[in-house]
């Protein structure tokens, strides 16, 4: 058998190739020496140049997780040039396969981000679908601050983007979803904002720079520009990454406005996301006496119906069923009533005030979106998909087809039930 194998030209060829390539294969450098493992990307503007910052995971012996997170930056006339410059600076190719977030500063957001996102989408090095965040600070500073927090990168920034200090759901948008909205030509996008404050209760506390003074601290400090901390040896002001509920409104590729939390909460009535709590003031009936009642949402069921009026005006009917739970009752602003599980605290008066409050805030949100002609609900696409003939006929009746969203009429019906 051995003699036959030795006389086989094919086996001899395979054996020679193995002998030649085996030493080369076992001596190939580690992939981490060729590629940078990028967890997060920041995009800023510096004059006429773009600055790209990458939060890189570098694994080395005897180092903890915090010590192996570093932020590096480079500039270029466009994103591609900046990425190539960064690769030259690091001596490794930037690998975006593990990237979970892309942070844009407001200056870039107002200029337009679709082209930048399209670059990452078309990059062979991007395997996932990162979510997008806007910041009023430098994106580089946000990535640097996250690298100092004693938690995993994904958990902190992802959770912070979804929840603000008022327990209202934020709007988390992925790269793919943003580009889908952009290429639809009609659907607006709403993107979470994360900014810096000095109020610890508003977000995640960023450790003092002095605690990360060496090792990777040099790299972080070198890219974050000092983070605004005061010198002179005095006590440094607290820095907190915060989500107050503000969001950035995009029409097309550009950020056109910042929506405050109350507008976002009103929008959540019409979206699959839900608000977690409601506070109703001045409740008076046979049970409540000038009370403030805090309710939490246990569950909600939403249905949406698209119709046209007799005059051909598009209408959207929302029916929402809420199952609520009373969490706290403040009677006369001071006394807290202990809740008894056998009683039903969802009185008719409380139901009515809750429904009025939701409708009032929802109506305000719709009016704000209409003022910007921002179809954040994708209704124009929905009408075109389900009623193409009626929708096309409607478009012919208005002078400017781009203003179609402003003509859509909204109807909201709410039912509330539940107890403790």
The answer as to whether 152 is a domain residue is yes
pLDDT at 232: 45
**Domain of residue 351, CATH code:** 3.30.300.210
Which tokens belong to 98? 């593990």
C-alpha triplet 38, 103, 200: angle, nearest 5°: 105
pLDDT of 196 over the 90 cut: no
- 181 and 131 in one domain? yes
Report the share of the chain in percent with pLDDT over 70.
Answer: 72
- 296 and 176 in one domain? no
- 269 and 166 in one domain? no
- 189 and 305 in one domain? no
Q: Helices (H), strands (E): how many in the chain?
A: 15, 18
* Strand residues in 77-167 grouped as ranges (E): 93-95, 101-105, 131-135
Per-residue confidence band for 23, with pLDDT thresholds at 50, 70 and 90: low
- 278 and 186 in one domain? no
- 163 and 96 in one domain? yes
pLDDT at 30: 47
pLDDT of 248 over the 60 cut: yes
The answer as to whether 20 is a domain residue is no
pLDDT at 271: 79
pLDDT at 414: 95
Spatial neighbors of 217 by CB under 8 A, at least 6 apart, are 209
Domain boundary among 242, 270, 287: 242
The CB-side HSE value for 55 (13 A sphere, CA atoms) comes to: 30
- 383 and 339 in one domain? yes
- 308 and 206 in one domain? no
Q: What is the tally of structural domains in the chain? A: 2
The answer as to whether 348 is a domain residue is yes
Q: Which range, 85-89, 131-135, 169-173, 236-240, is most confident?
A: 131-135
Q: Which range, 34-48, 93-107, 229-243, 397-411, is most confident?
A: 397-411
Q: Which range, 160-164, 182-186, 329-333, is most confident?
A: 182-186
SS3 384: helix
Q: What share of the chain is helix, strand, coil (3-state, %, to 5)?
A: 40, 30, 30
pLDDT 10s digits, 364-384:
999 999 999 999 999 999 999
**Angle formed by the axes of helices 114-122 and 175-184, to 10°?**
120
The answer as to whether 26 is a domain residue is no
Mean pLDDT of 112-121: 90
The answer as to whether 64 is a domain residue is yes
Which tokens belong to 231? 């010198």
pLDDT 10s digits, 312-354:
999 999 999 999 888 888 887 566 667 777 777 899 999 999 9
More confident residue, 370 or 286: 370
pLDDT at 42: 93
pLDDT of 239 over the 90 cut: no
Rounded Cα–Cα distance for residues 102 and 63 (Å): 26
Rounded Cα–Cα distance for residues 172 and 143 (Å): 18
- 197 and 79 in one domain? yes
pLDDT of 235 over the 60 cut: no
- The DSSP 8-state label assigned to residue 378 in this structure reads -
The answer as to whether 277 is a domain residue is yes
Report the share of the chain in percent with pLDDT over 90.
Answer: 39
* Strand residues in 84-186 grouped as ranges (E): 93-95, 101-105, 131-135, 173-174
The answer as to whether 349 is a domain residue is yes
More confident residue, 34 or 265: 265
Domain boundary among 189, 214, 242: 242
Domain boundary among 242, 276, 303: 242
pLDDT 10s digits, 129-146:
888 999 999 999 988 888
pLDDT at 110: 96
- 214 and 268 in one domain? no
- 222 and 267 in one domain? no
Per-residue confidence band for 2, with pLDDT thresholds at 50, 70 and 90: low
More confident residue, 390 or 15: 390
Neighbours of 160 (CB within 10 A): 20
Rounded Cα–Cα distance for residues 190 and 267 (Å): 10
Q: What is the pTM of this model?
A: 0.79
- The DSSP 8-state label assigned to residue 82 in this structure reads H
- 321 and 277 in one domain? yes
The answer as to whether 253 is a domain residue is no
Which structural domain range is residue 397 located in? Answer: 262-417
């Amino acid at each position: 058998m051995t003699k036959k194998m030795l006389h086989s030209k094919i086996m001899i060829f395979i054996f020679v190739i193995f002998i030649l390539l085996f030493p080369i294969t076992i001596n190939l450098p580690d992939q981490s020496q060729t590629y940078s493992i990028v967890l997060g990307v920041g995009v800023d503007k510096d004059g006429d140049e773009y600055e790209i910052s990458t939060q890189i995971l570098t694994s080395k012996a005897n180092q903890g997780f915090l010590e192996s997170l570093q932020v590096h930056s480079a500039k270029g006339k466009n994103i591609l040039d900046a990425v190539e410059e960064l690769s030259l600076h690091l001596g490794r190719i930037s690998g975006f396969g593990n990237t979970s977030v892309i942070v844009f500063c407001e200056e870039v957001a107002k200029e337009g981000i679709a082209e930048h996102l399209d670059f990452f989408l078309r990059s062979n090095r991007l395997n996932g679908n990162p979510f997008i965040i806007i910041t009023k600070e430098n994106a580089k500073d946000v990535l640097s601050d996250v690298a100092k927090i004693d938690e995993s990168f994904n958990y902190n920034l992802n959770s912070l983007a979804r929840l603000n200090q008022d327990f209202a759901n934020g709007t988390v948008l992925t790269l793919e979803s943003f580009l889908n909205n952009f290429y639809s030509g009609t659907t607006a996008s709403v993107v979470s904002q994360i900014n810096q404050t000095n109020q610890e209760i508003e977000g995640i506390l960023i450790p003092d720079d002095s605690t990360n003074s060496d090792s990777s601290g040099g790299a972080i400090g070198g890219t974050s520009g000092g983070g605004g901390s005061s010198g002179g040896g005095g006590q440094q002001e607290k820095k907190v990454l915060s989500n107050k509920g503000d969001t950035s409104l995009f029409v097309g590729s550009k950020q056109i406005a910042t929506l405050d939390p109350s507008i976002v909460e009103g929008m959540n009535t019409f979206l699959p996301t839900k608000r977690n709590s409601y506070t109703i003031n001045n409740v008076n009936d046979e049970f409540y006496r000038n009370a403030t009642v805090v309710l939490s949402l246990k569950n909600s069921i939403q249905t949406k119906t698209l119709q046209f009026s007799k005059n051909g005006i598009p209408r959207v009917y929302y029916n929402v069923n809420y199952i609520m739970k009373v969490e706290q009752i403040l009677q006369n602003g001071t006394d807290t009533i202990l809740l008894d599980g056998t009683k039903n605290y969802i009185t008719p008066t409380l139901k009515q005030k809750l429904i009025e409050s939701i409708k009032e805030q929802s109506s305000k949100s719709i009016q704000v979106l209409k003022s910007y002609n921002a179809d954040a609900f994708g209704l124009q696409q929905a009408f075109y998909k389900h009623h193409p003939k009626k929708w096309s006929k409607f478009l012919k009746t208005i002078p400017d087809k781009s203003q179609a969203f402003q003509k859509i009429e909204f109807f909201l019906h709410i039912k509330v039930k539940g107890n403790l």
